[in-house]
Structure 1
């Protein structure tokens, strides 16, 4: 028999202890503090980073994410209540949440890049859903600085934009100099949630031929539907990619896996004066030598993006240029969403709707 809910209680998916699957439980409804808003959550995306937090991290890991806290760093919802000193927002307005929260006063935070906060070691958390209570709950609080207006756009499908679109957008934006001009090629390695949106962003922002590669046939079919030329993984993967470019190689590559094998495949596909960005965090390593690296080919990495980037991502979403492939789950099925994420049983980004 279902027990009656406590007054002012809300349901939430809570990471309660290290290396333990999260629980669906009740917590006190949060109260917005100064400079904050209470958001009624429309959608919260389930991300592989969440799985890493509750499966892989230990007490010896990052000091700023000790449990317990509510998961969910991809969030969108409606303004429900404003904290002291906040004005300029109306109840019911839909907003997307920029997840990272830095110190707010270092150079990185001043340019809206809280992901690279210079004082991260002294911060009590990294982001909403990463040390601070996130959006896998009926309500969450967030600094109003981190709210990006959605207008009349669907906030449920918008939720994954906060990471699954922002992260590739930032990496692609930094690589636009390599992709400007005719006859350019871009390579997307790994066609999960981020890779699929990366194909859409590249198609919308550049005239480059987009080559996409993965080991999953259905993932390549979805990428092809968005305009990519697909190459399956395998022993002749690099040769086929180079063949598509006339032997020259690609001008920009984005590895959304980050394993040693995928990094090596991307490295083997690069042209001179190109840029390879490793976005995935599978902790792979790269080998480099002067005689195998194409001249002036850059190897770099990026992490998440800026608040300004997220405003631009929302503009693309509202214009219909990008559209996350979403699988919706009610709050009663929130844990099932994580189970499917872990088992590889999802075909799109799982979005939990706590208030459906």
Structure 2
């Protein structure tokens, strides 16, 4: 089968022919129907040798949906032919976190040579993908594969971040979303679906603001010199109750901290290299709380699939055949993607 693989650090990914794996023990072989492309893939491809614990070569792709093709002799809980989405953050499988579906916060994460599917272990940018256990599979029924695949990261990560802020987002509250791309547009939809909060959105691109508006944001604005003033006015002058920062850069964090009201929380999801100085007393608002959500839990993925199946959320996608992966990567790198890129085996 053909697969998009990182063969060596510093080298571009290569479409190569590899042998189709055979499931053993509790393993499950899934025929890939769609695989999402994420900025995390760019971070992996652009990482210098030694920055990550992964050992090339391996196949990329951590957002994957497909159909169960075959089972190892000890596999259970899933049937051949069943359509599934793959839970991507594979942990050690044995610690308390992993056994309760919290692989994203695996206690042994720092000792592993991988962070999950397509992140040190062979992923889904291929015809088939081998999954170590059926516990990593969530049924999707007849949900289209190009909708299901991005649920496993773009929607799951957003849902996990929003869930951590729900206690703050009751009636009469305001929340700000910074960065309305593959994750941000789903965060807006999730906020609209599961909270009564008023949603503000900011981005540097007009097309992203149009996407935010379609996704349910009440107010959208470009990032510019007067953004702080504009958004503060839209929040009634007192600031916002919570911020979801899908950029994570110096400017976005500065904007977030400047707009948060006392007792507010900042969830930094993006990895844009920003940082905060924590000092008391200091410039952070009184009662300030910070969270650094990473991916999401397996039970949360099932909740996300249910929301997508009900029509509460829909992923804005651009489809490419797997053979066009280099072009898709270039478009993502240059910021010319609307929503989420999905690769389909060809």
Q: Do these two structures clear the TM 0.5 threshold for a shared fold by scoring above it? A: yes
| Partners of 1:288 and 1:89 in 2: CA distance | 48
Contact 1:24 1:335 in 2 (8 A): no
Task: Output aligned runs, 1:36-115, within 5 Å.
Answer: 36-55=27-46, 57-63=47-53, 65-115=54-104
SS in 2 for 1:188: strand
Cα displacement (A) at 1:288 = 4.1
| Partners of 1:132 and 1:193 in 2: CA distance | 23
Matched, 1:284 2:264: no
Task: Output aligned runs, 1:329-344, within 5 Å.
Answer: 329-344=320-335
2:5 alignment partner, one of 7, 10, 14: 14
| Partners of 1:325 and 1:242 in 2: CA distance | 29
Cα displacement (A) at 1:58 = 2.3
Matched, 1:311 2:302: yes
Corresponding residue for residue 203 of structure 1: 192
Identify the range of structure 1 (261-270 vs 289-298) with the bigger mean alpha-carbon deviation: 289-298
| Partners of 2:336 and 2:122 in 1: CA distance | 27
| Partners of 2:338 and 2:215 in 1: CA distance | 15
Task: Output aligned runs, 1:76-225, within 5 Å.
Answer: 76-142=65-131, 143-180=133-170, 182-225=171-214
SS in 1 for 2:266: strand
- Structure 1 length normalisation: TM-score? 0.94
Cα displacement (A) at 1:299 = 1.8
SS in 1 for 2:18: strand
**Aligned pair count?**
343
- Structure 2 length normalisation: TM-score? 0.96
Identify the range of structure 1 (73-82 vs 118-127) with the bigger mean alpha-carbon deviation: 118-127
| Partners of 1:288 and 1:239 in 2: CA distance | 24
Runs of 4+ with >3 A deviation: none
Corresponding residue for residue 7 of structure 1: none
**Gap regions ≥5 residues in structure 2:** none
SS in 2 for 1:186: strand
SS in 2 for 1:327: strand
| Partners of 1:286 and 1:162 in 2: CA distance | 29
